[in-house]
Structure 1
Amino acid sequence: MEYKMIGPEHCDQVLEHLRRNFFADEPLNKAAGLCQNGSSCPALEAHCAEAIMDRMSVMAVDARDAKEKGSCKIVGVVLNGILKPGDTAKALSKLDTNGDADFRKIFDLLHRHNLQHNLFEHFDVECMFDVRILSVDSSYRGQGIANELVKRSVAVARKNGFRLLKADATGIFSQKIFRSHGFVVFSEQPYSKYTDGDGQVILPVEAPHIKMQQLYKAICGTDQEEKEQAR
């Protein structure tokens, strides 16, 4: 397996991988009925493309496939973006103009939770390395690819001078992976308690996924770690 940085030139290939392996099966997308396996979702694809443009994302490529067919098969990706203070509030304000009601349900939850549990205020940082999407081809799972993608993301963040990484993990499997790499739970949102004005659950996520976790990892200098330990 080879691991490479994702550039804008890989955008179409990455989106095709996500259509086949992530969009329909991610717990919140599935609960909202956002899209079918293999189908496109313009709002979600724009969200992914935005992260790719930050040039912090990593992909896993099957080297054997490249030798046999002369082309690279993407078997896993982690999409990472750069998050600055005010970005989440801006994204939330723009959400009302999005015509996809199912997309709005998902990102209204994510944005509002991040504003309520504000890592920028807690850690006093000017930007964060935002791990947004972690996906592995269904036929390649169980080979440690997701773990390696997260490991390499931490290395990319450290190389680029980030002090803090963040991830909104919506499923139990990604939550376990992040915690295994030293990420710490900062806040949680049980899906059963995310309800509308009538008390109805907005996103009926299927077990074993019962909550969203906002996780963080402090890196690049002991001053940040000491600050957290003192709290």
Structure 2
Amino acid sequence: MSSNTKDGITIRIMTVEDYKNVKAFMEDDFLLSEPLSQSSGESFHQNKDNGEYLLSMIAQDTCLVALDENNGGRLVGFVMAGAQFPEDTEQHRVEAEAMEQHTWGRIYRLLSKIEREANIFERFGISKALYSHITSVDKAMRGKGLGSRLAATLMEVGRSKGFPVMVAYCTSFFSARQKEALGMQCIHSLTYADYKDAHGQPIFKPAAPHTMVRAMAIKL
């Protein structure tokens, strides 16, 4: 896709050169506002494997950045997304179980569980899907439709690359509501109060209205 600009904000495909800024933005902004990370009280652990995973998505030309042209091209939002195939589901389960007991490890295990239970490949009868992994918008830009623009642009990218379905696992009430407004449907959900550790205690206790994780999907 070519870049598109509206109200001084340009959205374009992310490049490897963008990753340094995106990584800093992710750690300074997204992980402080993402409900599960925010409620954990722990600092974020960016492990090597996750960095390699994100770089592999960038290499597919399926990730996006939003730049404020009125502020020197400052990064004000991004989407990490990439192709997923049926065999990835089991690989993600194995990787999740091997991760340490820190915030990202716990989140990754939850997302792997939702991925298996949503079972999008059998549900839709498809052999690949576009997975919208992380979407983040600068706090100063929220409520202005930028998140919706990023998601809609990603759908366009998915269609242009022949993906039959786009899926996102939303840990935030607001991200799920935004994607629902764009036509995505909740195909599976898990209430945080029902997701418990070996001692019967909820693993995540985010503040309301973030009560569940939702698997959202749309046919492209």
What is the TM-score with the length of structure 2 in the denominator?
Answer: 0.89
Alignment of 1:72-111 (within 5 A): 72-111=73-112
* Structure 2 match to 1:224: none
Helix, strand or coil: the match of 1:108? helix
Q: Which residue of 1 aligns with 2:29?
A: 21
Structure 2 residue aligned with 1:203: 204
Aligned amino acid, residue 203 of structure 2:
I
Structure 1 match to 2:4: none
Whether 1:4 aligns to 2:4 is no
* Matched position secondary structure for 2:217: strand
Distance in 2 separating the partners of 1:45 and 1:191: 27
Counterpart of 2:63 in structure 1 is 57
For the structure 1 residues 34 and 51, does the alpha-carbon distance in structure 2 shift closer, same or farther, using more than 3 Å as the test? farther
Aligned position for 1:229 = none
Post-superposition offset of 1:46: 4.6
How many corresponding residue pairs? 211
Residue 79 (structure 1) shift: 1.2
1: distance between equivalents of 2:24 and 2:105?
A: 22
The answer to whether the aligner puts 1:30 opposite 2:43 as a matched pair is no
Cα shift at 1:101: 2.8
Among all aligned residue pairs of Structure 1 and Structure 2, give the percentage whose two residues are the same amino acid: 24
2:3 is matched with which residue?
none
1:54 Cα shift?
2.5
CA 1:164–1:47: 2 relative to 1, 3 Å: same
What's the offset of the Cα at 1:187?
Answer: 0.5
Contact 1:34 1:41 in 2 (8 A): no
CA distance in 2, matches of 1:75, 1:125: 34
What amino acid maps onto 1:5 in structure 2?
I
User: Which residue identity does 1:51 align to in structure 2?
Assistant: M
Contact 1:167 1:215 in 2 (8 A): yes
Tell me, in whole angstroms, the C-alpha distance in 1 between the residues paired with 2:54 and 2:172: 18
Aligned to 2:168: 167
User: Residue 99 of structure 1: SS of its match in structure 2?
Assistant: coil
Q: Does 1:155 align with 2:156?
A: yes
Q: Does the 8 Å CA contact 1:34/1:103 hold for their aligned counterparts? A: no
Question: Does 2:126 align with 1:125?
Answer: yes
Question: Segments of 4+ in structure 1 off by > 3 A?
Answer: 43-50
Shift of 1:10: 1.1
Q: What's the CA shift string for 1:92-118, capped at 9, x where partnerless?
A: 212333335322211111101211220
CA contact (8 A) 2:117 2:188 kept: no
Which of 38, 46, 60 pairs up with 1:41? 46
* Cross-structure match for 1:113: 114
Whether the 8 Å CA contact 2:81–2:133 is kept in 1: the answer is: yes
SS at 2:151's partner residue?
Answer: helix
Letter in 2 for 1:42: N
Q: Are the equivalent residues in 2 in contact too, given 1:85–1:126 (CA < 8 A)?
A: yes
- How far residue 52 of structure 1 moved from its aligned partner, in angstroms, is 2.2
- Report how far residue 87 of structure 1 moved: 0.6
Contact map agreement 1:24 1:34 (CA 8 A) in 2: no
One-letter code aligned to 2:54 = C
Q: Is the 8 A contact 1:34 1:102 kept in 2?
A: yes
Q: CA RMSD in A?
A: 1.7
Aligned-partner residue type, residue 162 of structure 1: F
Aligned-residue offset at 1:47: 4.4
Shift of 1:199: 1.6
Q: 1:8 to 1:140 in 2, by over 3 A?
A: same
